[in-house]
């Protein structure tokens, strides 16, 4: 009974705290003030690099969902402990609630863009939850007392052979005639002969100790039957929990009504000053199972640190370029759209991508030239890093030389013909070909400081990743997958993609079962900054058995993909991709 009552009290209290905090955060338009996302962001920022890399590797784009559900599970356990403590002594439960609120406040204020007003959702939620904890713990305490009293046996019941474990009682060793007189009806410190000790005698004493002034609700239950009191306790708890869940959902809905998706979808972008020409024939080999040349926005990989997506209205966005420059620049979104916009096909790749992994995609990007902006600002001698900051506080460090060498380094505003999706950086982000995303693709960008690598370390560098990260020449086998057996005596397509951004792919080779390398046929390609499809037609003139297929790419500088197997840390994975296939007769 005690454990169940504590669980109910704790969970209801937690739901009240979260429901109120979510609603207040929505009213104040303070997404940072939402407790669970704030704790999630704090967890990401303080998680060891090895664990973070494991999460990305195992869960991919679902890593944040797993984290949020993990936080919820821990929260439920913590809430049950708080409820159990409050039933024993209210002040213990309140201390637990204060710890819970303190974690939320720390998580909120640890965010780089936090404001003092962002504490209000957590504070108000905790105060309301404290009243709920006081009320329901008092009701639960009274219910425990009533229940233990109701199970006290009558004098006609036979005594147990021994007291229940952990309990003691005193009384005559032998039964005798009942005494008469007033004394017989008065409670004493012993149990009459022929009876069992009342339940309260072996119930943990500290579980039902009173806190002055907080047991009124419990005393009101004393005149009710246990079943009626228990029903009232559960019903009232369910009602309050339901109202809290509605408040949480309402707060989420209210926050979503302010999201920028409608603005993003309605945004009309100017035509590019430098449009890309139509794709040449043969860009897409259209082989079933082969990655399409264009990765749809909805399928484009997403790896970032944001639990709550930054939602920035274009009218409120601005970019500051400062630091080691001759003239500081501040651009609004309208300023950005008035600049000559450039289109280009650029493949982005995450440094966490394992060999043959999924964290890569190709899209048509539209944006302003980062190089021209930096030329206007005037970079001072000695600067070697662009220290870029996202609206959510994430930072990336881009080599100045790469941004200035003439490649299409873009301050992008569109992706595949539409304004950037919110999850991919709306209203503006960096896209720089030839570098892994953590140093070149800052989403929701709001600040560029021209500085040095010695002066500033971006987010991932102190976590063990290299400061500069050029993309490695790699290939991937998309088909066959190895999931289905292959019939001997037929011809199959071995196909995939290869990439070497800003160098270009010159050749792809395939080999089967450590045999000789065979030249694959390459698809057409519009430029050197995007991936390239390839295919090799394999005549399966082999006997039944298991065969390993491998591929390797050579870029236009003459470098051939290495066989050396290396993990993603600290500067990108390497090695031959391989697929094991089963050949049957």
Q: What is the pLDDT along the chain (585 residues), one digit of tens a residue?
A: 667 888 888 888 888 888 898 888 888 877 777 777 777 777 766 667 666 667 666 676 666 677 777 877 888 888 889 888 888 889 988 998 999 888 888 888 877 667 888 888 889 999 999 998 888 888 888 777 766 665 555 444 444 544 444 444 444 443 444 444 433 334 444 444 433 333 333 334 444 444 544 444 444 444 456 677 778 788 888 888 888 888 888 877 777 666 688 889 899 999 999 999 999 999 999 999 999 999 999 999 998 888 778 888 899 999 999 999 999 999 999 999 999 999 999 999 999 999 999 999 999 999 999 999 999 999 999 999 999 999 888 999 999 999 999 999 999 999 999 999 999 999 999 999 999 999 999 999 999 999 999 999 999 999 889 998 999 999 999 999 999 999 999 999 999 999 999 999 999 999 999 999 999 999 999 999 999 999 999 999 999 999 999 999 999 999 999 999 999 999 999 999 999 999 999
On whether residue 195 sits in a domain, the answer given is no
Domain end (from 436, 463, 490) = 463
Domain, as residue range, for 539: 474-584
Token pair 């045999």 is found at 515
Please give the model's pTM, rounded to 2 decimal places. 0.70
What's the pLDDT at 148? Answer: 66
Q: State the total domains in the chain.
A: 3
What's the pLDDT at 78? Answer: 87
Parallel, antiparallel or unpaired: strands 429-431 and 474-479: unpaired
Same domain, 128 and 225: yes
416: left (phi over 0), alpha (psi -120 to 50) or beta: left
On whether residue 327 sits in a domain, the answer given is yes
What's the pLDDT at 38? Answer: 74
Same domain, 318 and 412: yes
Same domain, 40 and 116: yes
Same domain, 72 and 211: yes
On whether residue 60 sits in a domain, the answer given is yes
On whether residue 217 sits in a domain, the answer given is yes
What's the pLDDT at 311? Answer: 83
Looking up residue 526, the CATH number of its domain turns out to be 2.60.40.650
What's the pLDDT at 229? Answer: 72
On whether residue 187 sits in a domain, the answer given is no
Same domain, 233 and 310: no
Domain end (from 463, 488, 505) = 463
Alpha-carbon gap, residue 143 to 297, rounded angstroms: 57
464: left (phi over 0), alpha (psi -120 to 50) or beta: left
Token pair 């964290």 is found at 359
Looking up residue 404, the CATH number of its domain turns out to be 3.90.420.10
**523 φ, ψ to 5°?**
-75, 160
Same domain, 421 and 397: yes
Same domain, 447 and 506: no
Give which of 574, 475, 457 is closest to 517, Cα–Cα: 475
On whether residue 281 sits in a domain, the answer given is no
CA dihedral 445, 448, 453, 457 (to 10 degrees): -40
Same domain, 47 and 108: yes
Same domain, 21 and 81: yes
Cis amide leading into 199 (omega within 30): no
Give which of 359, 362, 429, 442 is closest to 398, Cα–Cα: 442
Same domain, 494 and 455: no
Same domain, 398 and 532: no
Same domain, 507 and 380: no
Alpha-carbon gap, residue 120 to 246, rounded angstroms: 20
On whether residue 179 sits in a domain, the answer given is no
On whether residue 127 sits in a domain, the answer given is yes
Alpha-carbon gap, residue 283 to 279, rounded angstroms: 7
What's the pLDDT at 2? Answer: 67
Domain end (from 444, 463, 482) = 463
């Amino acid at each position: 009974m005690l454990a169940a009552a504590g669980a109910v009290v704790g969970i209801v209290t937690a739901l009240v705290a979260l429901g109120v905090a979510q609603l207040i955060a929505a009213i104040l338009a303070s997404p940072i003030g939402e407790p669970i996302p704030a704790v999630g962001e704090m967890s990401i920022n303080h998680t060891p690099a090895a664990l973070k890399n494991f999460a990305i590797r195992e869960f991919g784009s679902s890593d944040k969902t797993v984290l949020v559900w993990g936080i919820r599970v821990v929260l439920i356990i913590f809430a049950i402990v708080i409820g159990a403590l409050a039933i024993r002594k209210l002040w213990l439960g309140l201390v637990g609630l204060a710890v819970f609120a303190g974690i939320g406040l720390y998580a909120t204020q640890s965010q780089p863009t936090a404001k003092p007003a962002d504490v209000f959702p957590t504070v108000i939620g905790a105060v309301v939850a404290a009243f709920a904890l006081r009320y329901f713990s008092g009701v639960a305490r009274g219910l425990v007392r009533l229940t233990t009293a109701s199970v006290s046996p009558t004098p006609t019941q036979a005594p147990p052979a021994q007291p229940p474990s952990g309990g003691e009682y005193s009384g005559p060793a032998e039964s005798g005639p009942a005494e008469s007189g007033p004394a017989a009806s008065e409670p004493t410190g012993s149990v009459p002969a022929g009876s069992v000790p009342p339940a309260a005698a072996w119930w943990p004493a500290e579980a039902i100790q009173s806190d002055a002034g907080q047991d009124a609700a419990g005393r009101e239950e004393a005149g009710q039957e246990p079943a009626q009191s228990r029903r009232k306790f559960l019903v009232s708890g369910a009602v309050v929990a339901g109202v809290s869940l509605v408040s949480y959902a309402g707060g989420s809905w209210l926050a979503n009504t302010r999201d920028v998706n409608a603005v993003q979808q309605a945004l009309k972008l100017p035509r590019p000053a430098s449009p890309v020409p139509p794709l040449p024939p043969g860009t897409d080999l259209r082989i079933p199972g082969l990655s399409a040349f264009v990765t749809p926005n909805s399928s484009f990989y997403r790896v970032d640190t944001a639990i709550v997506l930054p939602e920035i209205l274009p009218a409120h966005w601005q970019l500051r370029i400062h630091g080691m420059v001759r003239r500081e620049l501040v651009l609004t979104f309208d300023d950005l759209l008035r600049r000559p916009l450039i289109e280009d096909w650029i493949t982005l790749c995450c440094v966490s991508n394992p060999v043959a992994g999924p964290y890569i995609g190709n899209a048509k990007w539209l944006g302003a030239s980062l190089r021209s902006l930096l030329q206007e600002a005037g970079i001072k001698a000695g600067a070697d890093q662009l220290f870029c900051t996202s609206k959510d506080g994430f930072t990336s460090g881009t080599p100045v030389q790469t941004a200035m060498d003439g490649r299409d380094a873009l301050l992008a505003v569109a992706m595949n013909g539409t304004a950037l999706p919110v999850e991919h950086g709306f209203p503006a982000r960096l896209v720089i070909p030839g570098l892994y995303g953590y140093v070149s693709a800052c989403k929701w960008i709001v600040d560029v400081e021209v500085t040095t690598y010695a002066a500033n370390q971006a987010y991932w560098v102190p976590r063990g990743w290299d400061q500069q990260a050029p993309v490695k020449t790699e290939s991937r086998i998309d088909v066959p997958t190895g999931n289905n057996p292959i019939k001997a005596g037929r011809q199959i397509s071995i196909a995939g993609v290869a990439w070497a951004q800003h160098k270009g792919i010159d050749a792809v080779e395939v080999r089967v079962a450590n045999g000789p390398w065979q030249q694959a046929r390459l698809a057409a390609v519009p430029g050197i900054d995007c991936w390239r499809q390839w295919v090799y037609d394999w005549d399966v003139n082999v006997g039944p058995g298991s065969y390993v297929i491998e591929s390797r790419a050579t870029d236009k500088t003459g470098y051939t993909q290495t066989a050396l197997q290396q993990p993603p840390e600290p500067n990108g994975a390497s090695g031959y991709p391989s697929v094991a296939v089963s050949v049957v007769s």
